[in-house]
Chain A
């Protein structure tokens, strides 16, 4: 079939079972948008390319499918960079299709030209510059394959403008042959046996769950493993939801704002099973004293993660879909023995957890941000898809929302991207139209991409946006309070913006909460309203996220609070 390059892209997207793309048109992708005009292909037009890429990312995290974003050359493509880096740090499958200037104009600093391949090389799993139309189907096939297989990640396909218009006898490749890309799904059974031997020796073991469990959809097998071993379990920010918050062996989140029990158990354990984790510095605290008494066993599909930050005594390379069931198979027969030998340890750390809950001071006449999260948790029974932006509200959500399901907490963990939350929530809602999608966002992060609120109204995405509005850049101010002598340099953002009016101007219902007694009814009203709603919730300025391990301190050197 002879078609244009632009039509070939749409055909390829259909072949990859893509049902929606997020994007923004421009000069270099005019031909592609012209093909979209008649193609009946679903396209979500955001207000900014950054919004489009975060939306595609939120869509991917919520659905498990590959998110797709389209942008034009030059500024369109560079506006994607933050979103691509965000996806890269959290291993999110994403394909970014960018327009490039025509082949004869490449390299001449032409109008709207940027070397997006060069720019995105350090923040993509792979990238392409397509200068010949006959290379186009192969590049797209490979891009989707690379994005979704192995350790997922973003792939950029930069396409010269004349390629969109050129004609091609289109055939989509049926298979991918890449000599240098062979993800290891099934690892070595011998290492499973070695892990099993270590499990039998352990008296103070600890299971550490990360985002990889979410990405590989391995929560169910993992829960069974947790129950068969009787081992206590902690989670990273990205692993929240893989183990239900009320599981009797669960100790909460570990790390800088982790629970007392999770952090002390990490310091005391004699065996740490890191499953789909990358030992980020926000988790480990002082690296040299991280889990100092433990043998560390690291499970990961990406061999480059092993020994990157923390030295592993044993490495289990492979898909968690393979390794967890393989290990479970060995454990089943000795389940009772394992439980028996760790019984007193698990009992002890669970007691630590119960005796040292994460708490906060109650103020009778103020709306405490943590209370908002707790109320939403009760109202939704852990059933909603929770999205956050970055900052204090993100940590409070992690601490006080009762996560019970995988893929139900979408947050920029690795890059910590302010402005991520709103577009990501819209992307998630686009992918899961029947689920309740709730965004917790600070007043700072909300303003960074608030233009996307218009999308909620334009497409009637019923996202509930809860602004925990403390009129300050809360997390930065907290650090200024703790480490810079209370010199609040440029973190007071008290302004004249009225978020309720802003919402209404965008076509979205706006509500406000200023007093504790209003909170319950307004939240219920927001949840019961069919379309999108913004709730401006006024919270006090000087609230700290606690507990806290100061950067560079040992995990058990926590500043407690509450």
Chain B
């Protein structure tokens, strides 16, 4: 099963490499990894999605916890949380197909961020399955030229931040 981990780390060079290296060295599979600054400038938040059973997942957390630069790990799989991914999708678009694409974009509550005579770029944020669904429709009906996805980021609901959980 997939686990979403929020990993708070010291904002220092090399930490992301260290973490991804440790996970791959132990032969655990990373589905996605996304890193960014947080409300505290010296802390980076890394959201990692790993695939594995309970024992493997426990080992990932335990091994990551050993790293001196890892401040806190919280598992967002079991708690109620908001999980999002951002995608930019460049799709083939001609004058004739443009309105059809706009319809699809509206249905998915996505937005169009660039248009020219041959292509459109669509921005969509949402959970993984929603982005997958949009990509599927666009690819089948119009053809996708290029996709950039961020990987998942997640926050738990409620007032308590991951660092205090």
Contacts and interface: CB of A to CB of B under 8 A. Distances in A.
B14 A180 contact: no
Contacts of B70: 180
B65 interface: yes
Given A122-B22, A122-B25, A304-B65, A179 B71 contact: yes
A178 B9 CA distance: 11
Nearest to B55: A307
A321 interface: no
Q: Which of A178, A304, A306, A311 has the most CB of B within 10 A?
A: A304
Give the bracket for the number of chain A residues in contact with chain B.
10 to 19
A541 interface: no
Interface in B1-52: 9-10, 14, 17-18, 21-22, 25
Interface stretch (B56-64, B91-99, B114-122, B140-148): B56-64
A37 interface: no
B21 A178 contact: no
A304 B62 contact: yes
Given A117-B14, A121-B18, A122-B25, A180 B67 contact: yes
A94 to B, nearest CB: 15
Contacts of B65: 303-304
Nearest to B43: A179
Given A121-B18, A122-B21, A122-B25, A181 B68 contact: yes
Given A121-B18, A146-B68, A303 B10 contact: no
Contacts of A302: 66
A304 B55 contact: no
A481 interface: no
B7 to A, nearest CB: 10
A interface, over-half SS: loop
B69 interface: yes
Interface string A266-301: 000000000000000000000000000000000000
A303 B66 CA distance: 9
Nearest to A142: B68
A125 interface: yes
A126 B69 CA distance: 9
B62 A121 contact: no
Contacts of B10: 179-180
Contact of A307 (B21, B59, B71): B59
Contact of A303 (B21, B62, B71): B62
Interface string A112-148: 0000011001100110000000000000000000100
A304 B69 contact: no
A560 B25 CA distance: 37
A308 interface: yes
Contacts of B72: 180
A304 B68 contact: no
7 contacts: A121-B14, A126-B69, A179-B10, A180-B69, A180-B71, A304-B62, A308-B59
Given A121-B14, A178-B68, 5 more contacts: A121-B17, A126-B68, A126-B69, A304-B65, A306-B62
Interface of A: 117-118, 121-122, 125-126, 146, 178-181, 302-304, 306-308, 311
